[in-house]
Structure 1
Amino acid sequence: MSDVPGVRRTWRRLRADLRVVMERDPSVRSVTEACLASYLPALWLHRLAHPLYQHNHRVLARILSLLGRILSGGCDIHPGARIGSGLFIDHAAAVVIGEEAVIGADVTLFHQVTLGAVGWWRDSRRLPGERRHPTVGDGVVIGTGASVLGPVHIGDRSLVGAHCVITCDIPAGSRVSSPAGVVRPRSAPRPPLPTETHRKESA
């Protein structure tokens, strides 16, 4: 019976993931359809792989990560990445999330987004403990084909437009478009996401 709370917690998390799909994908009209969201295998297997990776079971974690990539059609999430609740990846194809990436709550990524490093030729010169990958704040939206590279920080509720290349910190509430650059603040505050409301109610 000691495992019952763990089972309940896992079930609540699965239901929350499906709710995110239904809230942010207008083409989904049922829970059954939500279960078929292409990124969910990669996300769910990452949740199994991440604690294994933290406990130095790196090979098994990488196997699960590879399986998630295959089942999701190319969504590559490194088992070392830290991912908050409410992540939504639209289409999931060719999304790459690096080992030291940190993703906050209620983040939306579109296809072909990269959260990566700037290259081994620079990372090999970093001091021990220095980060290589970005940190993405809560409520951030990153558009199709955008690349966020290096140990940069994308502030909460920022919007990164399609095909942007980000290599510097972005303040909270910013709108970034290519080639216009950073525009801050956004014209109006975004209302709370539905997942935020659900999380507060369940707290």
Structure 2
Amino acid sequence: MFDRIREDLEMVRMRDPAARSTLEIFFCYPGLHAIWLHRLASWFWNHKLLFLGRLTSTINRLLTGIEIHPGATIGRRVFIDHGMGVVIGETAEVGEDVLIYQGVVLGGTSLEKIKRHPTIGNGVVIGSGAKIIGNIKIGDASKIGAGSVVLKPVPAGSTCVGIPGRVVQEERKCAIDLDHGELPDPVAEVINLLLKRQDEMEAQIKELGITSTVMKANGLLTRKTEMEEIFSEGAGI
């Protein structure tokens, strides 16, 4: 148990540049407290002490603002940073070395007592306010952009953004990467592409217009020359 606590403290020190000391991390990080209380709630739940599990989960929410169902599976070195409003459902599974920011929801889509919450792979970063809904898999080392609503599986090493979530980048290396703000914007990229294409088409139309004007001018000049020749030969009288 103490080894796990030391591991958790070191994990926070590595991932949060604002952490100043072990004492500060131990007493002042509600995301860490939520993980510790969840381990107790999960122990009760797995030993069929369901009421004590739910009671511990409720106390956890009151103290930290983070709601984790005691039936959820949380891996090692999971860090919930600024965790107010985080909700993790009963059948959710969270892998190791996962970073979760405030307002994240791992929610379900079914009323049946089945696997209905997402499975999060190892090394995943989930940005602020992201919603991952349903029995879907988020692959290892993926990034979920802030405010995204993810309804479909995300391949390993991918970056997913938007509402609904779209995969905009793949094959990210499996490494701790806290940057989840500088993410691609697929809508802006499409608009920029359309504007670029519009500029190209306008240039082509302008070029065609100049060519047409020259052709018309050449046609009139040729016709005028022919008329002058006919008139000079007396046919115009």
Describe the SS at the equivalent of 2:160: strand
Mapped contact 1:43–1:68 kept (Cα < 8 A)? no
Residue 21 of structure 2 is matched in structure 1 by 30
* Offset of residue 190 of structure 1: 4.2
Paired amino acid for 1:104: G
1:42 matched to 2:26? The reply is no
Mapped contact 2:123–2:174 kept (Cα < 8 A)? no
Paired amino acid for 2:142: S
Mapped contact 2:141–2:175 kept (Cα < 8 A)? no
Q: 2:62 aligns with which of 66, 70, 78?
A: 70
> Residues 8-27 of structure 1 correspond to what in structure 2 (within 5 A)?
10-27=1-18
Distance 1:33 1:51 in 2: 27
Distance 1:192 1:152 in 2: 22
Aligned length: 175
| Offset from partner CA, 1:83-123 (integer Å, 9 cap, x none) | 000101111100000000000000000000000112xxxx2
Gaps of 5+ in 1: 1-9, 194-203
- With normalisation by structure 1, the TM-score equals 0.82
Residue 160 of structure 2 is matched in structure 1 by 176
Q: CA RMSD in A?
A: 1.6
Describe the SS at the equivalent of 2:141: coil
Mapped contact 1:154–1:169 kept (Cα < 8 A)? yes
Change (3 A) 1:19 1:53: same
1:139 matched to 2:123? The reply is yes
Residue 193 of structure 2 is matched in structure 1 by none
Distance 1:192 1:164 in 2: 20
Q: 2:77 aligns with which of 72, 86, 90?
A: 86
Describe the SS at the equivalent of 1:133: coil
Distance 1:189 1:50 in 2: 32
Distance 1:158 1:110 in 2: 14
Whose Rg is larger?
2
- Name which structure has the greater RCO, CA cutoff 8 Å, separation 6+: 1
Runs of 4+ residues over 3 Å off in structure 1 = 190-193
Paired amino acid for 2:124: V
| Offset from partner CA, 1:119-157 (integer Å, 9 cap, x none) | xxxx23x4x6x3110000000000000000010000000
Describe the SS at the equivalent of 1:168: coil
1:185 matched to 2:170? The reply is yes
* Offset of residue 27 of structure 1: 0.7
Residue 199 of structure 1 is matched in structure 2 by none
Residue 102 of structure 1 is matched in structure 2 by 93
Mapped contact 1:103–1:137 kept (Cα < 8 A)? yes
Return the structure number with greater helix share: 2
> Residues 105-184 of structure 1 correspond to what in structure 2 (within 5 A)?
105-118=96-109, 123-124=110-111, 126=112, 130-178=114-162, 181-184=166-169
Mapped contact 1:113–1:145 kept (Cα < 8 A)? yes
* Offset of residue 40 of structure 1: 1.9
